[in-house]
Structure 1
């Protein structure tokens, strides 16, 4: 913390927004003029890397300073447990804290909102009221029963499926303005604050407001394009070039809507004289694929459009410039602590793991990425700080839906495929190595092959950058508990409902999840 350190933090995650669709990153469509102006005041990071390619583990890492294997929150165990969160630490330090989101994973149900004094979830089918208070405690009680734990995936899957079919038009679009409105109210009522916001517009399905659709996807009916990534990935649906263009247009329109709402939030901070005293972080948790590598969505791979995410930070100790050095989203945990002068590391509950401030992971620090001076036992602090690490455990919910789409089309998914694989990657600015447990590894010279079209893993070329990156990955694997070398069983079905007692089944019938 310096004399110029901010008093407040506004942390914005644009869910599912890929870097190359933003104006500050050179996109040729004017999707984000507001962020383009923000970039004039911020540090724009070109090489920011997410610790996973989807929401739950990324947010758990942002909130704990841990890699996914450390905090354990994934689809097979969709709860953040036994870890003290950033919000718990900042609340204990006297900051006003709030989390506003329209994402079904960011709720009291998953414990990602633990520690926030104020929270609301605007997810249409599974609202915050459903997943908080007494009902959240009831879910927790049920989930403590190992036989019932897989039901969590089923419920979130049902919610997302309903969201896919029911979200649209004003229903889908009204959530981001509500999130911003509530954030403004919270800031106005706070002295020193940490406000966290997740905006879901750019996540499937794409149903942008008419104003934005006419600008970026004129004449496109959002109900006529493929809005189900699993259907495409399973091979049950083909998308031609024209339809991809329509899908990307709708995606751009959603991003433009986010930009307008963020501009409204930023303008309010300026009008109320809170802007200069507030550190502002804008990033994505992951990106999205639109047909690249034969995939749609953000599952089953670790390609750069998913993990090399946008990151812009406004901080008095950071210059307004572009930086090409590689950073990790996990560093933002330490950046927030450092900026607010909070050391952290004190467990909120007995037995919790709590990560204390490590200034070698704080962006404004003079010791940033100088890992020889690190103060934490951190498996990612390898070599000279030039590597980022990414983990992807098997996505049970998406995989179950994929199997259902394939089965309905008479397609059998091969067991030895990326769909059933766990993956870990090491990345630096010129090279990436991906360890995969069911199919051959992948490696790319991303400096010469940024679209990752030529897999050079196993090539007898003596590429030093690839060899060094694989060695760094092996060191990370050793430090985090060992490599994933034994493929998991491909059976992702569950019979948890049959194992439930009558009272639990009756409770779920009352809620509409069982017939």
Structure 2
């Protein structure tokens, strides 16, 4: 690796963790040590943690599209329909595509069918591989990692089990990414590697090595907590029924579910640390390293399990740690968002684009973030319980403007203003000046954006293979 290239055209490794909320990450102040590796990276001289980072949406396709395109949901549309059946419009550029045009090698390893050719989120990647656990041993890319996982399944998995939902994909991904990084680092052109870590997506089934990590202070044994998690998130229908029933969990049951969730975060954190150390051995620290999460998860907040229907902070406030990017420490305590980091990385690498929203964190410390939820689908909740109260949720697409003090939500049906950390009590009528000020800021934020309303030229329909649909069903989406 030449000195000139490493200084002017650094490599980039971007890791997006699945479903990690900032409230449960020790790097963001959580009392359980769930993310020691993220803390280690953030505490380096070239590291920064942003505890007030916000994703652009509350589920994987929408937030991932925002990361890769530097745009908001209403601009890129992926996931706006609530089903991710509308692919990325052809005229929306991607960060990997822009980098590839400038000579970067671009690669993506993902276990999510939402980041695939079906949605168009493979665009710009010279090397893109969708990893499906059910096919891992038949896949040349992942066979080696899958065999290693099999030999270590008593530590990194559940031991012998034919239940696919008990197995974790993260170890296979780790062992697949190492040779990818070796290969990418062996050539002169710089590279951009994006990967999506599948943990801790529900059902929370931490490997045996981690399963007892946080069960000492709960009423359930580790085995009982695991079985509760599997039962709770057994299928989408089961989870929807639990929500329709009002999330009827005892405090001990909530504690058990959170213990499994936290253990999975710790597992994902080890994955991050392993890859970070591998990268540093290869390039002596000349790579920009970004770690965040696509969204969080809920444990009964606003009546929700998992990531559905709402834009609560525990869904949108996610960890963000960046290493190797000078000049961003001044924004450490600011309210930042994914599109800010995408833009900052793009500006640093010389591929700025007029489409990018957000700000360059080296120049500006932002003070608000925007998150969006598209079309809600209440039918499955009403089928589970015809009396389910949908009125507490926005019935149309909604945008949240989040400052350090308030959250303002606006849909075509109504607006709400929350004085944080309370996200249950609408104080709009009590604080009309604040409501009007934030409404004006929201209007200003979208002024000049290419906001698509679904009437643009037909871009086709996302087509998922049978294997992709099975993978999404395993994750509780179908």
TM-score, normalised relative to structure 1: 0.72
- Considering Cα pairs closer than 8 Å and 6+ residues apart, tell me whether 1 or 2 has the greater RCO: 2
Select the residue among 18, 23, 27 that pairs with 1:24.
Answer: 27
Instruction: Tell me the CA shift for residue 47 of structure 1.
Output: 2.0
1:301 partnered with 2:319: no
Select the residue among 365, 370, 384 that pairs with 1:389.
Answer: 370
Which residue is equivalent to 1:443?
Answer: 417
Residue 129 to residue 275, structure 1, CA distance change in 2 (3 Å): farther
Which residue is equivalent to 2:242?
Answer: 232
Q: Deviations over 1:79-102 (max 9, x none)?
A: 112212111111111111111111
1:250 partnered with 2:225: no
Secondary structure of 2:133 counterpart: coil
User: Contact between 1:427 and 1:469, CA under 8 Å: does it hold in 2?
Assistant: no
Which residue is equivalent to 2:340?
Answer: 331
Instruction: Tell me the CA shift for residue 230 of structure 1.
Output: 2.1
User: Contact between 1:167 and 1:205, CA under 8 Å: does it hold in 2?
Assistant: no
Instruction: Tell me the CA shift for residue 21 of structure 1.
Output: 1.3
Instruction: Tell me the CA shift for residue 126 of structure 1.
Output: 8.5
Pairwise mapping of residues 277-426 of structure 1 onto structure 2 (< 5 A)?
277-318=286-327, 323-344=332-353, 355=355, 361-364=359-362, 366=363, 368=364, 385-396=366-377, 399=378, 402-403=380-381, 406-407=382-383, 409-414=384-389, 416-418=391-393, 420-426=395-401
Instruction: Tell me the CA shift for residue 283 of structure 1.
Output: 0.9
Instruction: Tell me the CA shift for residue 417 of structure 1.
Output: 4.7
1:68 partnered with 2:73: yes
TM-score, normalised relative to structure 2: 0.77
Which residue is equivalent to 2:426?
Answer: 455
Distance 1:5 1:480 in 2: 31
User: Contact between 1:100 and 1:119, CA under 8 Å: does it hold in 2?
Assistant: yes
Mind listing any 5+ residue stretches in structure 2 that lack a counterpart? 140-161, 216-220, 454-460, 472-478
Instruction: Tell me the CA shift for residue 432 of structure 1.
Output: 1.4
1:78 partnered with 2:78: no
Distance 1:318 1:336 in 2: 12
Select the residue among 437, 452, 464 that pairs with 1:468.
Answer: 437
Secondary structure of 1:52 counterpart: coil
CA RMSD of aligned residues (A): 3.5
User: Contact between 2:328 and 2:361, CA under 8 Å: does it hold in 1?
Assistant: no
Distance 2:241 2:227 in 1: 15
Q: Deviations over 1:291-318 (max 9, x none)?
A: 1222111111111111122111113413
Distance 1:344 1:322 in 2: 22
Which residue is equivalent to 2:107?
Answer: 98
User: Contact between 2:85 and 2:119, CA under 8 Å: does it hold in 1?
Assistant: no
User: Contact between 1:104 and 1:126, CA under 8 Å: does it hold in 2?
Assistant: no
User: Contact between 1:91 and 1:97, CA under 8 Å: does it hold in 2?
Assistant: yes
Distance 2:331 2:367 in 1: 17
Pairwise mapping of residues 42-57 of structure 1 onto structure 2 (< 5 A)?
42-57=47-62
Secondary structure of 2:309 counterpart: coil
Pairwise mapping of residues 109-148 of structure 1 onto structure 2 (< 5 A)?
109-124=118-133
Instruction: Tell me the CA shift for residue 77 of structure 1.
Output: 3.6
Mind listing any 5+ residue stretches in structure 1 that lack a counterpart? 131-164, 346-354, 370-384, 485-495, 497-503
Distance 1:200 1:18 in 2: 14
Indicate the larger mover: 171-180 or 52-61.
Answer: 171-180
